[in-house]
Structure 1
Amino acid sequence: MSITHYSTEIPGASHWSLRVRAGTLMRLTDLSGGANVGMLFYNPDNLLERYNAPDTLKGQHTFKLTQGNCLYSDMGRVFASIVEDRLGWHETVCGNSNAAQVTERWGARDYQGARNDWHQNGYDAFLVELAKYGLGRADMAANLNLFSKVATDEAGNLQLVEGHSAAGSQVALRFEMDTLVLLHTCPHPLNQAKAYPYTPVQIELSQAAAVDDDDYCRNFRPENQRGFMNNALYHLGK
C-alpha cells in the first residue's frame, strides 16, 4: 500500500495544474458520480512536447483507454501509464466543452456573478492553466477525458454514456517522466444533463512502485515496450 503524500479535492467547474515528477502515482476518485476530468500533458523541460491522442490510440490499437494503456507524447515517449482502473473505459477523442456549448445548454454564468456556481467550460479552463506556463491557444492539444465513456447510436453519432462512472470510481496514473499536468472538472462536451453538472474529484499523490521487466503496462502492447525504451534513452541524455 503506497503512502499518500498529498491529497486535494477539485470542485466541479474548476481547473488545476502541477509539475509531476517521474515515479509519482496519481490516483483520481470520482466523489459523487458522473465526473469528467479533462487532462493534458506537457514536458516541463520542453513545452513543445505534449500529449498526442492519435498516437496513443493507434499505437495501442484501441479506441478506449483502460488499465495497461500508456499515454504518449508526440515524441513517442510515455508520459504516464494507467496502472489501475475500475471503469474499463476512458475516452480521448471528443475534446473539450467550450463557452458557446455551455451557454446554449445551461445558460451563461460568470465567476464574478455566480462565484463557485458559475458555468465554466473546459476550453477556457485549460487556457487559464496554460497561461501560467507561458502557453496559449496555439498550444492546446486534443485532451483526455477521464471517467467518460462514449458510444455510437444507430446513425453513427457519438453519445456520452450516462451513469458510466459511479461515486467512488477510481483510476490511477503512474508517471514515467517528469510531466506538466493540466486538468479541469468541467462537463464533457457531449453531456446533455438538464442542470450544469458540478462533479468534484479527489487527487492523491504518492510514490509509485518501481517498474520492472514484468510490468503490466510495459508489456500490455509491443509498442509500449518501445515507448519505455524511448523514455530510457531520454533519461540517459538528461
Structure 2
Amino acid sequence: MSDMIKSIDYTTELPGGAHWSLRVRRGSIMRLADIKGAANLGMLFYNPENLLERYNAPDTLKCQHTFKLTRGNCLYSDMGRIFASIVEDSLGWHETVAGNSHASHVESLWGTRDYQHDRNDWKQNGHDAFLVELAKYGLSAADLAANINWFSKVMVNDEGNLQLAADHSQAGDQVTLRFEMDTLVMMHTCPHPMNRSTDYPQSRVQIELGVAEAVQPDDYCMHFRAENTRGFQNNALYHIGIGE
C-alpha cells in the first residue's frame, strides 16, 4: 500500500454516464482508477458546513502557476482554503478548464437521451448529472462552478485552439486525493465536452475511500508552491477548536 495511505476501507465502481455524491471527512483518502481507459470523471467540491464555499478553478490554477493538475497540486476553495491535495498521480495531467457536456452536445453526437426508453443505458450529460446531485443538498444551476475533469488532458494546438488529447488515460491509471477539510464531493462519469468518439463513452471509474497517513512537516503538496503553504495555514486557522 502507498505510504500516503493508512487504510482502504471502501471500494465501489461508477459506471459510464453515472453520477454520485458524498461527504468526505478531513484526513480521508480517495483513490480514483480508470478501469478500461479513456475515462472522464467530472468533480466538484463544496464545504458541507457552508455550501456557499466551493471549488475555485481559476484560483487553483493561478496561485500554483499551472494550466494542469497533477501530484503536488492543491484544490482550492473560493475562500483560499484547500479542499484536497493530489498526493499520487500516474498521468501527470488532469484538466479543469473545459467544463461539462450538455444535453445538446450529447444529442448531436450520440442521439437523443431518453430514460423512458433506454433506462440505465440512456445517454446522460455532465451538466444535468451535476444538477441531479446538487438538488439533493438544496443547490441548483446557480451553484455550479467550473469542474475538474480527472483523466482528461486538454492542450493548445498549433492554431491556438483547445484540443482533447486522444488515448491520454490508459487502463489502470490512478490519481489519489487527500482531503484537507470536510468536503461535499459531486462527481459524474459523463463524456468530456470535447469528446468526439463514434459511440457514447462508457468508461468506468473505480473509487477507493480510506484513511490518509498524517500530514508531515515536509509534505510534498504543502511545499509544492509557496502559496500551498499559506493554503495549509488557512486550513489550520479554520480548524482551530475542532478535534481530530
Q: TM-score, normalised by structure 2?
A: 0.96
How far residue 154 of structure 1 moved from its aligned partner, in angstroms, is 2.2
Matched with 1:156 is 160
2:88 corresponds to: 84
Distance in 2, Cα, partners of 1:153 & 1:215? 35
Q: Distance in 2 between matches of 1:153 and 1:110?
A: 35
Structure 1: gaps of 5 or more residues: none
Residue 191 of structure 1: aligned partner: 195
Q: Distance in 2 between matches of 1:114 and 1:123?
A: 19
1:170 aligns with 2:184: no
* Pairing 1:113–2:113 present: no
Letter in 1 for 2:200: Y
Quote the Cα distance in structure 1 between the aligned partners of 2:24 and 2:186.
Answer: 10
Structure 2 counterpart of 1:230: 234
Amino acid corresponding to residue 36 of structure 1 in structure 2: N
Deviation at 1:153, TM superposition (A): 2.0
Whether the 8 Å CA contact 2:43–2:186 is kept in 1: the answer is yes
Say which SS state the counterpart of residue 225 (structure 1) adopts. Answer: helix
Q: Which runs of 5+ in 2 are unaligned?
A: none
Following superposition, the deviation at residue 143 of structure 1 comes to: 0.2
Structure-1 residue corresponding to 2:108:
104
Moved over 6 A (4+): none
Question: Which string of whole-angstrom CA distances, capped at 9 and with x for unpartnered residues, describes residues 55-104 of structure 1?
Answer: 00000000000000000000000000000000000000000000011111
Q: Is the 8 A contact 2:99 2:146 kept in 1?
A: yes
Q: 2:125 corresponds to which letter in structure 1?
A: N
C-alpha contact (below 8 Å) 2:7/2:212 kept by paired residues: no
Q: Which residue of 1 aligns with 2:44?
A: 40
- Structure 2 Cα separation of the partners of residues 70 and 30 of structure 1: 21
Contact kept, 8 Å, 2:156 with 2:163, in 1: the verdict is: yes
2: distance between equivalents of 1:29 and 1:112?
A: 31
What is aligned with 1:123?
127
Q: Classify the secondary structure of the residue corresponding to 2:53.
A: strand
Partner Cα distance (2:114, 2:192) in 1: 19
Q: Which whole-Å CA distance do the structure 2 matches of 1:128 and 1:154 have between them?
A: 38
RMSD over aligned Cα atoms? 0.8
Instruction: Name the % identity.
Output: 70
**What is the TM-score with the length of structure 1 in the denominator?**
0.98
Q: Could you tell which deviates more after superposition, 2-11 or 142-151?
A: 2-11
Matched letter for residue 116 of structure 2: Q
- Secondary structure of the 2:91 match is coil
SS, match of residue 82 in structure 1: strand
Q: 1:112 Cα deviation (Å)? A: 1.9
